[in-house]
Amino acid sequence: MVEVTVTPQSSLADRPVQIRVRGLSPSQLVTLRAWLKDEQGECFQSRAFFRADGAGEVDPGLHAALGGSYSGVWPMGLLWFLQPDTLFRRLVKRDVAGSPFRVRLEVFDGLCLGADPREQPLASCEAERWYLGPGVQRVPIREGRVRGALFLPP
Per-residue pLDDT tens digits for 1-33 = 999 999 999 999 999 999 999 999 999 999 999
Rg (CA), the chain: 18
CB 31 within 8 A of CB 46: no
Residues with Cβ within 8 Å of 140's Cβ and at least 6 positions away in sequence, in order, are: 148, 149
CB-side exposure of 7: number of CA atoms within 13 Å? 9
Per-residue pLDDT tens digits for 59-117 = 999 999 999 999 999 999 999 999 999 999 999 998 888 899 999 999 999 998 876 66
CATH classification of 3-152 is 2.60.40.2240, yes or no?
Answer: yes
Q: Residue 79: helix, strand or coil by DSSP?
A: helix
* Burial (CB count within 10 angstroms: exposed 0-12, middle 13-18, buried 19+), residue 30: buried
